[in-house]
């Protein structure tokens, strides 16, 4: 069997990634078979050794050293958020840190603007035992790198191609459906959605189309017309609120962004949620409670706890296969921003 470099010009020897593909295991499993530092089942060890023999693989000494090295550190790739997103971001990070400390691990923060190079850097320099990646894109160039790394990588978010990856997130699609259904149950046949702004849409963040898909599917099922707004600032928020109020009906609003700005715009028009408008939103529990907002909580702490359970399961037993997307279910909590449901008929 001949192996070529990326340009297809110069022949080269097989790599541990080639062995992993041949044996049908992860690349890190190959490393642990060679190092003997972790228990591997006899069947898996046999398959890896047979693949090594077939490919005449000669492991690099540095790679053998990396496979046997433990750092007791978890790397977390965090987005560079504007101030408005700092509170939600810190809920994720705080829970990750607490879970790591319970297992006597430290946390290394890596900024997302490093892209794939950041993943290669922390793995190549043996800086951590696993990586958690936040703010995942639908088409995320870090996915291919994650599949090739000799250590566990867990995504908070669901990329478009999640095959063979460990990824966990809140069920944004389910949340979109729940919020539209709640307003439909209150008798609304037209709903204004204040969605993520143009920047978030342009970045290709994975949860944006997922939420929209759920909202639109439920709207179609329930005969609800959605008027979608993507505000880039407070002026756009006020324009969307004015349009909803000027329709002459009690407005139904779904908020996924600009929650305080929307509530302020309603107040300036003399309208109160729960009396003159039905307002639901996507928010953390603390945000929803502070605004009295009927909401589907994004549950950042629960998501982070489950992510870290998965991380340590992979660290403790590298033979655990990637299991694809896992979703934390969306649950609606009713508060004072919506009126009591109308009787049927």
What is the per-residue pLDDT across 73-113, written as a single tens digit (0 to 9) for each? 999 999 875 544 667 788 899 999 999 999 999 999 998 88
9 has pLDDT over 60: no
Q: What is the pLDDT of residue 42?
A: 82
Average pLDDT over the chain, rounded to an integer: 86
Structure tokens given for 6? 């990326």
Structure tokens given for 34? 């060679």
Lowest mean pLDDT among 51-55, 141-145, 162-166, 306-310: 51-55
Structure tokens given for 277? 């408008």
Domains of the chain: 3-65 (1.10.260.40), 73-170+300-328 (3.40.50.2300), 172-299 (3.40.50.2300)
User: Tell me: the pLDDT tens digits for 111-135?
Assistant: 888 889 989 888 888 889 999 999 8
212 has pLDDT over 50: yes
Question: What pTM value is reported for the model?
Answer: 0.76
pLDDT band at 163 (very low <50, low <70, confident <90, very high): confident
């Amino acid at each position: 069997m001949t192996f070529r470099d990326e340009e297809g010009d110069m022949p080269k020897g097989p790599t541990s990634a080639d062995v992993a593909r041949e044996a049908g295991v992860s690349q890190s499993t190959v490393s642990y078979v060679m190092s003997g530092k972790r228990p591997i089942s006899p069947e898996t060890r046999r398959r890896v050794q047979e693949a090594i023999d077939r490919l005449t693989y000669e492991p690099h000494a540095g790679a053998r050293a990396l496979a046997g090295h433990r750092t007791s550190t978890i790397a977390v790739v965090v987005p560079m958020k504007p101030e408005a997103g700092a509170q939600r971001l810190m809920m994720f990070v705080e829970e990750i840190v607490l879970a790591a400390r319970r297992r006597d691990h430290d946390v290394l923060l890596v900024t997302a603007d490093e892209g794939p190079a950041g993943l290669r850097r922390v793995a190549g320099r043996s800086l951590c035992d696993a990586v958690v990646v936040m703010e995942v894109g639908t088409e995320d160039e870090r996915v291919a790198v994650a599949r090739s790394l000799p250590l566990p990588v867990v995504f908070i978010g669901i990329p478009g191609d999640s095959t063979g990856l460990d990824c966990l997130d809140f069920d944004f699609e389910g949340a979109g459906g729940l919020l539209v259904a709640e307003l439909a149950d209150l008798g609304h046949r037209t709903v204004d959605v204040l969605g993520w702004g143009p920047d978030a849409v342009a970045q290709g963040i994975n949860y944006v189309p997922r939420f929209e898909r759920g909202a639109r599917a439920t709207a179609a099922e329930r005969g609800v017309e959605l008027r979608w707004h993507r505000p880039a600032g407070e002026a756009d928020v006020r324009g969307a609120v004015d349009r909803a109020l000027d329709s002459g009906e009690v407005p139904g609003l779904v908020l996924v962004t600009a929650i305080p700005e929307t509530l302020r715009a309603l107040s300036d028009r003399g309208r109160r949620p729960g009396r003159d408008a039905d307002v639901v939103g996507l928010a953390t529990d603390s945000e929803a409670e502070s605004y009295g907002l009927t909401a589907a909580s994004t549950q950042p702490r629960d998501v982070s706890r489950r992510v870290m359970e998965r991380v340590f399961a992979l660290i403790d037993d590298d033979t655990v296969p990637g299991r694809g997307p896992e979703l934390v279910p969306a649950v609606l909590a009713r508060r004072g921003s919506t009126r009591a449901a109308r009787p049927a008929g």
